[in-house]
Amino acid sequence: MFKQIFITTIITCVFVGGNPLSKIINGNEADPNSIPYQVGIFFKRANNKTTFCGGALISEYDVLTAAHCTNGSILAEVVLGAHNIWKEEPSQIRIISSDFITHDNYKVGVDDIALIRLRNPIKLTDQINIINLPSRQQETESFLNENATITGWGLLSDDAPTISDHLYVAQTKIMDNRLCGIAYFGSIRDSHICSESYGNLGAACDGDSGGPLVVDDILVGLVSFGSVLGCESQWPTVYSRVTSYLDWIKDHSTIKMK
């Protein structure tokens, strides 16, 4: 436990206008509105600070994000259909919600998953759409070596002063949990999924927390943490593994699953 805290760090939500932040590393600006399930979320925290996270729209009523984003927050402004997160674009909808469900067992880097429930159903458009969850048949799939996509407005480099204006996308690859566990000194569980960031592969950074990791149009992970060595260190990015939480999602969202 000491080692985990010492060696790894939560990809903290960006303090807007503040110091330590993150961006997608090794990515490219996304084609505007090409990732219709991506949401950006401004959280108002109990201490009055504002933080920023990503999330994924999984139904007309439900956004999945990280527990370290909702925990300690009192209000969320959920931005759907955005490319430039700071502008009011015609494609966007902004919704305020304080209806959070943070996983009961959430601890630093563990069960880092939460839902934000929206009071009224989102009207789905070309720019705002849901991402599929893994099916029950895929519940035991590892997704090992699959190509995967990560997206977010998080920091573009370790020394970036703030989040990216525009949504970025990077390609990555699902790695073996055992190898990832070596990189993180044993703090990787079955309920984690990791992506490689060697060479030209991408990595998540601060501000990408809670955002989607997608394989073949299926949501397989939510950004949880990276290495204290920095987002550009080529250390794996660690996500909550969505297949480990299908029951939790079924129990707490409006989604009907078998």
Which positions are annotated as active-site residues?
68, 112, 209
- Give how many residues touch ligand NAG by CB under 6 A: 7
Out of 3, 87, 94, 107, the residue judged to bind ligand NAG by CB under 6 A:
107
Among the listed ranges 23-31, 54-62, 104-112, 238-246, the one in contact with ligand NAG (CB under 6 A) is: 104-112
Residues 166/206, Cβ–Cβ less than 8 Å: no
**Could you give the CA distance from residue 78 to residue 76 in angstroms, rounded to a whole number?**
6
CB closer to ligand NAG, 73 vs 92:
73
Out of 147, 161, 229, 257, the residue judged to bind ligand NAG by CB under 6 A:
147
Out of 44, 72, 141, 181, the residue judged to bind ligand NAG by CB under 6 A:
72
146: contact with ligand NAG by CB under 6 A: yes
Q: Which residues contact 142 (CB under 8 A, 6 or more apart)?
A: 174, 177
**Could you give the CA distance from residue 181 to residue 177 in angstroms, rounded to a whole number?**
6
71: contact with ligand NAG by CB under 6 A: yes
Side-chain-side CA neighbours of 65 within 13 Å: the count stands at 36
Residues 45/185, Cβ–Cβ less than 8 Å: no
Among the listed ranges 84-92, 103-111, 156-164, 232-240, the one in contact with ligand NAG (CB under 6 A) is: 103-111
SS3 69: helix
CB closer to ligand NAG, 47 vs 140:
47
Among the listed ranges 30-38, 75-83, 89-97, 101-109, the one in contact with ligand NAG (CB under 6 A) is: 101-109
Q: How far is the CB of 77 from ligand NAG (least distance, A)?
A: 19
**Could you give the CA distance from residue 133 to residue 24 in angstroms, rounded to a whole number?**
23
Sites of contact with ligand NAG (CB under 6 A): 71-72, 106-108, 146-147
